[in-house]
Amino acid sequence: MFNYWRRSLSARLWVSSVATLTVSLCIIAGLVTFSLMHFPPQTWQRDADMRFAQRVAAALVFDANGRPSAVKLDQSTAWLYSAAKADLMYRVLDDEGRILLSSQPEQHHEQWGNGDLSGAADTHRDMDIDTRPFDLVTIEVRRGDAWFFVQSAISADIRKELLGLKVRSIPWIVAWTLLIAVVTFGFTLTFTMRRVLRPLRQSSRAAALITPFNLQARLSSEGIPSEIQPLISAFNEVLSRLENGFIAQQAFLASAAHELQTPLTLIRGQIEMQPEIKDKDLLYREVDLMSRQVRQLLHLTEVSETQNFKVQEVDCVAVVEDAVRYLFRKAQAKHVTLKVETLAAPSPIIADPSALFILLKNLIENAINVTPVDGSVLVKVGETSISVNDSGYGINPEYLPFLFQRFWRAPDANHDGAGLGLAICREISSAHRWAITIAPLAIGTAFTLWFDSAATSATSVA
């Protein structure tokens, strides 16, 4: 599982995107924190200083003559001016510089400076009160035709503390923002990647369904990203070449089998007509073996093309009985007992009766070949399966992966054959979506044809 995700394109894109976002946000957060920590506090506090003066101006109460008579601050601002008297001060002046209202005793005012304030409106000025640095903010207030000035003085110490309260919370805000952004981006990217890669998964599933029986199928390029379309096109071209090669191979096998059938018949006829030929039985055996191999090649060619099948409703028991009658003489010649046992009345199936006959004939014939003299072959017909049980010596487990390969024969086989019988069985069962299983018995082996492939549970499945 780990190796799968390590090689996964979506996982790589997800990790790289999230890592890029995380690094970018960390850099931004670092720059913000660096700026807050290293730039002068005045840069970040001047707007707050101006707001203190604006609060005082907004809290002015004017008398009937239009002159400021009192300052009614809100509770929090009034508490600040009361608790930090030595660090936070204000005064209100008229246009001639006379002090009308003040939060401090008069002895401090001479250090604030007096004179014409018309040019000092909306300005900041650094000054010292009792040798302590302050920021003096001056704003003008108009009442009718009269002009008044509000000045607010804030010490460097309290400005630093106020700024510290803001700055201390920023790293946590940045950290939580970073975490939420990364998590949200990660979840969003997951769904986005699934949507973007959906056409690739569909193409992958479509490619997995392509078999020798549907080589004419092609992968659709609809919805495929432009970067992947050349790969889809190349894969479809490979399928075309493979289809053409498969058609040529099937045509060659069919042609070769047809061309060999007639000469073999003529050879057998010539042997029968010439009495002077010795060891006729040996020659007949070889000619019959070659004829059998030619017939198997023809069968293999026919069953490899699904359009050759003519499906209809088939009675399994009748086909089994036909196959047993066909091979009865072969079993009798080997002194092998051939029996049929119907365990349950099977329902008719939809299949090609000739193909089913060939499949059962090959399984029964193989069972007769491997069964010793005076042995028995039992064909069991069930509701969803047909089992052929021989009484031979069993199958070497090492041979199981190769049994259904074309032209493969066991090294210790003691009967004639070309190694095509089980390959033909596999082609027929695959075309009908059946399954063939192999299971060892106490004596011999059971080959079972399952019409319901989901019910299989045996040693080997074809």
309-461: which CATH architecture?
A: 2-Layer Sandwich (3.30)
- Give the pLDDT of residue 338: 92
Q: Which two structure tokens, joined as six digits, stand for 180?
A: 């939420």
Instruction: Please answer whether residues 140 and 122 qualify as being in contact, where contact means their C-beta atoms are separated by less than 8 angstroms.
Output: yes
Q: What's 45-161's CATH class?
A: alpha beta
Instruction: Please answer whether residues 260 and 283 qualify as being in contact, where contact means their C-beta atoms are separated by less than 8 angstroms.
Output: no
Instruction: Please answer whether residues 206 and 236 qualify as being in contact, where contact means their C-beta atoms are separated by less than 8 angstroms.
Output: no
Instruction: Please answer whether residues 166 and 115 qualify as being in contact, where contact means their C-beta atoms are separated by less than 8 angstroms.
Output: no
- Give the pLDDT of residue 269: 74
Instruction: Please answer whether residues 91 and 149 qualify as being in contact, where contact means their C-beta atoms are separated by less than 8 angstroms.
Output: no
Residue 166 backbone phi and psi in degrees, to 5: -75, -45
Q: Which two structure tokens, joined as six digits, stand for 352?
A: 């090609």
Of 81, 80, 59, whose CA–CA distance to 68 is shortest?
59
- Give the pLDDT of residue 38: 61
Please tell me the pTM assigned to this model.
0.46
Instruction: Please answer whether residues 301 and 257 qualify as being in contact, where contact means their C-beta atoms are separated by less than 8 angstroms.
Output: yes
Instruction: Please answer whether residues 415 and 292 qualify as being in contact, where contact means their C-beta atoms are separated by less than 8 angstroms.
Output: no
Per-residue pLDDT tens over the stretch 405-418 = 877 878 777 766 66
User: 3-state DSSP: the chain helix, strand, coil percent, rounded to 5?
Assistant: 55, 20, 30
- Give the pLDDT of residue 336: 92
Q: Which residues contact 192 (CB under 8 A, 6 or more apart)?
A: none
- Give the pLDDT of residue 375: 92
Instruction: Please answer whether residues 73 and 157 qualify as being in contact, where contact means their C-beta atoms are separated by less than 8 angstroms.
Output: no
Domain positions in the chain: 2-40+165-198, 45-161, 309-461
- Give the pLDDT of residue 200: 79
- Give the pLDDT of residue 449: 93
Per-residue pLDDT tens over the stretch 252-272 = 666 666 666 667 676 777 777
Residue 423: CB atoms within 10 Å: 23
- Give the pLDDT of residue 321: 92
Instruction: Please answer whether residues 378 and 323 qualify as being in contact, where contact means their C-beta atoms are separated by less than 8 angstroms.
Output: no
List, for the chain, all residue ranges whose pLDDT scores fall below the cut of 70: 1-10, 33, 35-45, 105-111, 113-116, 118, 163-168, 170, 212-213, 246, 248-262, 264, 266, 279-309, 415-418, 453-462
In which order are the strands placed within the sheet that holds 99-102? 99-102, 88-94, 146-155, 132-143, 123-129
From residue 177, alpha-carbon distances to 173, 189, 274, 298, 299 in Å are 6, 18, 101, 73, 71
Residue 344 backbone phi and psi in degrees, to 5: -150, 150
- Give the pLDDT of residue 367: 92
Residue in the structure block whose two tokens are 């499906």: 311
Q: Is 118 helix (H, G, I), strand (E, B) or coil?
A: coil
Residue 451 DSSP code: S
- Give the pLDDT of residue 445: 92
Instruction: Please answer whether residues 334 and 368 qualify as being in contact, where contact means their C-beta atoms are separated by less than 8 angstroms.
Output: yes
Residue in the structure block whose two tokens are 């010795």: 278
Instruction: Please answer whether residues 344 and 307 qualify as being in contact, where contact means their C-beta atoms are separated by less than 8 angstroms.
Output: no
Instruction: Please answer whether residues 409 and 419 qualify as being in contact, where contact means their C-beta atoms are separated by less than 8 angstroms.
Output: yes
